[in-house]
Amino acid sequence: MLDIKLVRTNPELVKENIKKKFQDEKLVLVDEVLDLDTKFRAAKTKCDELRNKRKVMSKQIGGLMAKGQKDEAEKVKAEVTAIGEELEALEKDETVFEAQIRERMLVIPNIIDDSVPIGKDDSENVEIERFGEPVVPDFEVPYHVDIMESFDGIDLDAARRTSGNGFYYLKGDIARLHSAILSYARDFMIDRGFTYYVPPFMIRSDVVTGVMSFAEMENMMYKIEGEDLYLIGTSEHSMIGKFIDTITPESELPKTLTSYSPCFRKEVGAHGIEERGVYRIHQFEKQEMIVVCKPEDSMKWYDKLWQNSVDFFRSLDIPVRTLECCSGDLADLKVKSCDVEAWSPRQKKYFEVGSCSNLGDAQARRLAIRIKGEDGQKYFAHTLNNTVVAPPRMLIAFLENNLQADGSVVIPQPLRMYMGGKDKLSK
């Protein structure tokens, strides 16, 4: 959410940013906010004047009564009553205007960084850098579900019977590999100085609207019927929500956290749910990294976060690339974002396995996450998040890149301690 002062002082900048995101239908919101803000401030000023006037006149009543001027006192009482009625009406207007302003401000997109490429959608995202040499083996790489089934490691049919499409049973060595990757990701981030968390998997609506846009919320979140609770789509939601309505001393920053959680997503949209596969599903598990920091440090942490993901995948010999998200592909709260994509030998192309985002102070404004400086001044924090790893999607990249001609899968050195010392999976 933007600072209302920015909309007042530089509405054209806000409108230009909306155009860069190809959301011209939102341009009218800027003028509506300006109009409502004028009405709100006028009502607030009048309310302050009336409160002061009522206070002065209320003191007069006692003085008049003490002098025996009862009639005069009654006249003043009547005026005070009239002021109270006018004040009550204006306070209602003030509340309505404030709510209408917030409703619109929550929809106006955050100001994107100058470095973000301008484009309408993800087809115009820009490759930044490649890490590792992509290899296409001289044998056919099967579909990832076929590889898993060759180890008797997945049961989609049973999951469809219990839960429908978009769910799965993992079992045996594939299930163990799934857990091993998460355990390694946890320790990888702890070794980089991040504090490990297991957060709540359900959050209240005020946290949901604080961490994401309404469009994301509609397409992602599962609502718990009859309760003010939502299943999280990523542990970032809980972890940023942890700081709601807090003031953190500047000396305690940055907060560097890594969290594990299951993730639940409706996956409403053009991509849909896969009937056979584990790339786009309703339920998965993920290791996440979150940073809360001073505004001047957020871009430095942004670069550190995506580099952590690259280093993690390269430690498992998986080639990856980073892809800069263009303006039209950025969610409304994001200042800057890049995807980390892993190489698929079967498809002979890269596919997304994680996303790194700098949200500036957008989440902090919505959730009142503030920092107290050494001078006593308070200001909003910056928040960032990035995926460490999200199996089972990452399993696709892992199995394809480590598959051998005989159908076995090599286990890289970092995972072997989590796999009971195994150096390969054999049929």
Report pLDDT digits (tens) over 332-368. Answer: 999 999 999 999 999 999 999 999 999 999 999 999 9
User: What pLDDT is recorded for position 237?
Assistant: 95
270 has pLDDT over 60: no
275 has pLDDT over 70: no
Mean pLDDT computed over 204-229: 89
User: What pLDDT is recorded for position 220?
Assistant: 86
71 vs 26: which has the higher pLDDT: 26
Structural domains in the chain, sorted by start: 4-105 (1.10.287.40), 122-425 (3.30.930.10)
Calculate what percentage of the chain has a pLDDT beyond 70. 98
Q: What is the mean pLDDT of the chain?
A: 94
Q: Using H for helix, E for strand and C for coil, what is the string for the chain?
A: CCCHHHHHHCHHHHHHHHHHCCCHHHHHHHHHHHHHHHHHHHHHHHHHHHHHHHHHHHHHHHHHHHCCCHHHHHHHHHHHHHHHHHHHHHHHHHHHHHHHHHHHHCCCCCCCCCCCCCCCCHHHCEEEEEECCCCCCCCCCCCHHHHHHHCCCEEHHHHHHHCCCCCCEECHHHHHHHHHHHHHHHHHHHHCCCEEECCCCEECHHHHHHHCCHHHHHHHCEECCCCCCEECCCHHHHHHHCCCCEEEEHHHCCEEEEEEEEEECCCCCCCCCCCCCCCCCCEEEEEEEEEEECHHHHHHHHHHHHHHHHHHHHHCCCCEEEEECCHHHCCCCCCEEEEEEEEECCCCEEEEEEEEEECCCHHHHHHCEEEECCCCCEEECEEEEEEEECCCHHHHHHHHHHECCCCCEECCHHHHHHHCCCCEECC
Please report which confidence band the pLDDT of residue 396 belongs to, taking 50, 70 and 90 as the band edges: very high
User: What pLDDT is recorded for position 382?
Assistant: 98
Mean pLDDT computed over 106-119: 96
Report pLDDT digits (tens) over 374-394. Answer: 999 999 999 999 999 998 889
Report pLDDT digits (tens) over 143-161. Answer: 999 999 999 999 999 999 9
Please report which confidence band the pLDDT of residue 271 belongs to, taking 50, 70 and 90 as the band edges: low
Mean pLDDT computed over 27-56: 93
103 has pLDDT over 70: yes
Report pLDDT digits (tens) over 237-263. Answer: 999 999 999 999 999 999 999 999 999
71 has pLDDT over 90: no
